[in-house]
Structure 1
């Protein structure tokens, strides 16, 4: 036997607009790992009803619970009721307990009469891309993939995009393939279009802008979506070759001086490190200082003091280096005597 269960029912809203989504959820805590909830199909003539998959989840308190959810979209205005069938707690091959949810009442407000019956009540998002990506060629077939998706609007209310896709003097639009890819597990409604297109001329791909109106139930305002798709370049093969050559010459013209300058600074850095390395090992030589001067474009036939001053102006004071150079100068002078 199963002890009396703590059933609960939650309604997302009690005052809604026509065609606005309502979510009703029935939950019950459980400690049985194999328990499930079952119910007959919900049919309400004045509403569109979508049953979501039953699920098991862990609450914030760590308690396991089972739940069943439905989405309701009322078509008519006025006071309406939502009757649910008996919910069965199913365990070990049989029904262990039944529960009849209480009748739920909602108030449905009529939409303004000037709105068309297919206008979305809620937001619908759009994304798109072209296959193949990158630069296209004139008179070559490509595909424009468009995806419409929403968590609050069913695909029956999605905007009619195909009416906005018309051929032009620069673009052929061929019959589209439409596929329904809604996911009841996540509650996402999705409609995908695969539209063959063939550009006729060079330039930016002449894709049309897409737009539609939708009713925002939160603000009771009519909103508009204006979508500008990405428009890749359309270039013939010879144009692509010219573009590639031009880009290469530009990169060479810009990059060569930068590379040359970078190598110059790298050689200077190397010569500086060579001086500092010999300074640490007390092996500083005239040849190393001479190579450093040439790399830095310092004056030819410099004296050691001139070299030291040039270093100070370039890298700042270095007392150890100054002492080493002056000691080297003193040794050379002693040898000369």
Structure 2
């Protein structure tokens, strides 16, 4: 079988013979099936390129020399400018009478030296770097997440809201509101959640608060056969499900600015979480309720939705580009289980 390049060479050769025999170039090219511009390029092939030099290596008159770049970097890292961003340092140098090149060129040079991130002195580590927690759940009771947040009471009084959520179904399997944040109350929360759910999670994830790492919590988890998982220090998105739940709680239209007393807070949160589990259509679940997913009723709910959509489509097919389909629940939910590209920092 002749490849495309060889076939084109044969066609152009035959077209040349037709032109020599008196045919016009347009008719000859049309007969062999090539465009006339290909014929004209065939008559005058481009000259072979000489020695090519990459742009980075070309000796332009305006190129910044290595000595100039090193001088700027030495000044940038000097004691006077070391704690400033590149932009701040550049314009202070400019006001001091030093301007070797543009601000854009300064950023390129800094990036080439690998200093275009956060230039502030970072907090030193006190030990080995903690591994990123990675967990994935494909069914309820495989992964739970829990956390504690503050609620405002009368005056300067505050209360603590403890919550435990199933990551796959988003169901709040346990909560309590107390005056304080203690390890004993945290253990009682976990124990009550396991008893009420009648199932023990494989993994219980939390941040690095004192109740989460307390000895009583560790002992309880060991007795129940639960693996404890923790977020990395100062990485808030290692516990995204609990953080998102607290935002949902506090941005609810009925959420009071301040609770009258502890009883008021407990009553409001009990009502809210009951409604959340049974009626809240969660976007992360394709708008099924947490109870529906947690109790394994997704197939029935999907079937019912599909019947409703089919009936609507049958009545008004012209309103749809294609037949609507009821989606199921995403098959996997987890913490740091998806590959992401790290965001770059500007200097």
Higher helix share: 2
Higher relative CO (Cα under 8 Å, sequence separation at least 6) belongs to 2
TM-score (norm 1): 0.22
Higher strand share: 1
- Between Structure 1 and Structure 2, whose CA radius of gyration is higher? 1
